[in-house]
Structure 1
């Protein structure tokens, strides 16, 4: 009689008194119950195992099931499956993990009732704000203190998020610092840098040069009427010299930090740049 046997590459079958690892035709003689010979012809073939290489990418913080576990780090992972012939199918997956998406977003800010502010996000390819806007920037005019969030996705579909709070003050409470001090201005009020606002109870203004060295500090919250007749300018103002010693500073960009309290007890914190022009 003749039989066909199919085994996987690398396996063997016992034929002709030995384990056979090669395809071919093999003959075995068996003795039956009546002492007559029975010749078995075996046609042996091999089904091939297969292997493949694939690449996969996941976002930072995601995972993929490889080698029997959820993998979160980049690397090469090998999995074995059975193919249609019942033989091994080896799949090697080169896994890459995208860097964590960094969302840059406008700092928390303060406006007065009726005001508006532009919030800007960057770091991605598409944006979705809590307002429903889908651009990288959005103009908001909240009537009360509001926290806005934005979902950002990159070209691979990986997600990041950020949020910014816009504090809304009643119109009677306001504080700001001009971003330019022009010592040659014909307007004498502009030749000193004042803190302007309304309803300020106390303050501390510190100005630093670009190396972080303190060049001016004041906690003078005495209020005077501005040159336009409006309230108010606070303190005696910075005259552009080093620690009020009379030593003039060169034209440059400086950084300020302003903290204090309004008369309603609410704290304010502001910071920004000041350009000194001679």
Structure 2
């Protein structure tokens, strides 16, 4: 016998909570929903199913093992589902980064009832315990909110997605380009934005995609322009998110340099380059090759013609972005050394030399000074300076180029020989030539009777009257000619002084004075009493004023001389001589 079926007592739950049902009496149970949420049971055939109704629900449990007692084999249980506070809820929100948005749960508030609110997480909320906080965040966030009241223990739950639009960025750094070039913009951004570009200083740029991040910008004018990308969304009224970058749009220069020119070696010329537009002040300039320029990095350098031939110079004007133009000028440098003169030279006084200048055809020239020269317009003039002289020549060729040259002519001192015109010698004598002057080299003619014809001071001993001619030459090569007559006497000459002083150096011995050679037969001296106090046959010996070792007194003495000359004549002479002490 089975007892009556009895279900667990009626109860209440909060929405979302489980209700644990139970039954006693009978067996083989069958649970069904009479009214309410169906299905909402974990197992309709279990004695203890779990019910999860969302509204108040009545459950019928029937024991199928005793169908014969229909009034006792079933029972009902009512599960009342209580609600938390009524609220409309906050829809998900789409907003911009750091844009403040107001949330509102829309709680239906009953008089006399108090309500509690809790938001999680609290980050970005003005308050996590009010039903209408403000939220301001950088990135998307999901908030969970729980609302309770003093009516019952049940709470209302909600989940709100605050979807924050992702930011945007441009990868392009500030850059410089040439006018007419384009810049490809690289960047990322949320596709839900509306994009637009502004350009405050560029009046006419071209965008390949004016409503997007990925675009190409072709600036319309030179200058440093700022290009601003704007991102806007209707959920963020009044908010204009911007990023920007600068494009330094530089002009394409146009260059014009001088016409080709000709110039002379050694001249200088200022080059001129015109660069347009001239309002741009950041050009860099270069001339190549620049070795002949004073400042090859300037527009208007000075060119120095230091090399003959054609010099082709290239001028380039360039902006920092590489916008450039170039032009060339050719400079034909004519030679300015068309005079060829011999080296400096040395002449002697009275000499005339020819200056062997070489010139190109068509050259005009003029010599200075205009004296001691055969012609100031001669190619190879003859000159005869009387002193050291610098001759300058000034010339111009058919191109108008000037050349100068000079030759220094040094006039050495005049060669000088000074010697007697005539010298007399006696038989057997010689004469030592001793010319004065500045000559270093000598030649005598004729060589007959000379000891050496190539020295300055030969001994000469001619046997007859002879004129000797001497040629002298200085170290500088200047020469002079002179002559001397050597007169040869026919016979020798003998004589004796009329006084002497023994012991006196100059006249201390009584000796025969002779010119030429002679054979002495006798030279004797007698005192006044006729005593012979001295005698010799040596013509070179003289009396010293003594006799037999005794000094003879002052007084007058008598001498006799007997000799034979080279001609064989007998020479005899006697006279008086005074001895002085």
TM-score, structure 2 normalization: 0.26
Between the two structures, name the one with larger relative contact order (CA 8 Å, sep ≥ 6). 1
Greater Rg by CA: 2
> Is the strand fraction higher in 1 or 2?
1
